[in-house]
Amino acid sequence: MTSCRKSLVARAQLVFGRFARSRLALAGLVLVVVLVATAAIAPLMGLQSPDEIDTLAMLSSPSSDHLLGTDDLGRDTFSRLIHGARVSLSASVAAVALAMLVGVPLGLVAGYVGGALDEGVMRMLDAVMALPPLVLALTIAAVLGPGMINGMLAIAVVAVPTFTRLVRGQVLSIKHDDYVTAARSIGAPRRVIIFRHVLPNAINPVIVQGALGIGFAIITESSLSFIGLGAQPPTSSWGSMVQVGFQYLELAPWLVMAPALLIFAAVLGFNLLGEGLREMLDPNARSR
């Protein structure tokens, strides 16, 4: 037991050491932690209410009273930006989590069972992926109607095929390995083989894709909110803030620049984190 524990500790140190050596990965981790922590403590920061209207301060430039100015209704841009992070980040993470909950089991079953089931699942996914992901998400959201929940569902539907195909490919490459064959030979139930032996050895790429997928989800959620299919007024999200600021781009450019920069920072952070996780979990990735 002690030897096994030491082996696990040594392996963990090796893996995290590989991650720590990547400056870009650490930069991505810092960006993500800062954004998530700021969003989490937003209610405790004593900021002005993001929905508080001040008609005497409409489109005010940045000042000591309003660090990033105000919008067309006199609402504090900095407060809306911080509270908008809670909406944009939570919606994106929830959408990717939902896609994983559907896509991972589907890929496991399709890849392990094979045959007509696998063929049917793959053809269904091919149909879903016929349209570009962003266009498909916009189409689904338009059909379901405006709203954050519908937007999250649209993003999740678009992301499911990616996780399904990824897991299926992993399963196909390991389902004939010796340890899986041994489990079958002793009569282990199929569900036990899939979830105890196959899934743990197929999960690493899913973790990487999850981080990368959150970046795509942030862009998609912002796009949906920009055209009015995501978060609805008065709820603030980065995409809706860009949409409001776009109308006053020449008069008040900070209304667009602030949320756009945060969208960029969040997507960059999750992408760098994803690449860092890929390098950490797959040592062969560095030689590709």
pLDDT tens readout for residues 144-173? 999 999 999 999 999 999 999 999 999 998
Question: Would 275 be classed as within a structural domain?
Answer: yes
Q: Give the Cα separation of 246 and 105 in Å (integer).
A: 42
Each residue of 90-108: pLDDT tens digit? Answer: 999 999 999 999 999 999 9
> What is the average pLDDT score of the chain?
87
Question: Would 274 be classed as within a structural domain?
Answer: yes
pLDDT for 14 beyond 80: no
pLDDT for 193 beyond 90: no
State the pLDDT at residue 82: 92
Q: Give the Cα separation of 228 and 237 in Å (integer).
A: 11
Q: Give the Cα separation of 117 and 101 in Å (integer).
A: 19
Question: Would 184 be classed as within a structural domain?
Answer: yes
138 residue type, one letter: L
State the pLDDT at residue 66: 86
Question: Would 51 be classed as within a structural domain?
Answer: no
Range of the domain at 210: 77-287
The runs of H, that is alpha helices, within the chain are 2-20, 23-40, 77-113, 115-128, 133-144, 148-174, 178-185, 190-192, 204-226, 238-246, 254-281
The runs of H, that is alpha helices, within 41-147 are 77-113, 115-128, 133-144
Could you tell me the CATH number of the domain that includes residue 183? 1.10.3720.10
Each residue of 22-43: pLDDT tens digit? Answer: 778 888 899 999 999 999 998 8
Q: Give the Cα separation of 7 and 4 in Å (integer).
A: 5
Q: Nearest 5 degrees, angle CA 234-CA 240-CA 241?
A: 95
Q: Nearest 5 degrees, angle CA 195-CA 198-CA 200?
A: 75
State the pLDDT at residue 45: 81
- Tell the burial category of 23 from Cβ atoms under 10 Å away from its Cβ (0-12, 13-18, 19+): exposed
CA atoms within 13 A on the CB side of 133: 15
State the pLDDT at residue 109: 92
Q: How confident is the model at residue 239 (pLDDT cuts 50, 70, 90)?
A: very high
Question: Would 14 be classed as within a structural domain?
Answer: no
Question: Would 30 be classed as within a structural domain?
Answer: no
3-class DSSP state of 154: helix
Helix 2-20 vs helix 254-281: crossing angle, to nearest 10 = 140
pLDDT for 1 beyond 50: no
Question: Would 119 be classed as within a structural domain?
Answer: yes
Question: Would 212 be classed as within a structural domain?
Answer: yes
Q: How far apart are the first and last CA of the chain?
A: 36
Overall domain count for the chain? 1
* Mean pLDDT confidence for 80-94: 94
* Mean pLDDT confidence for 127-141: 91
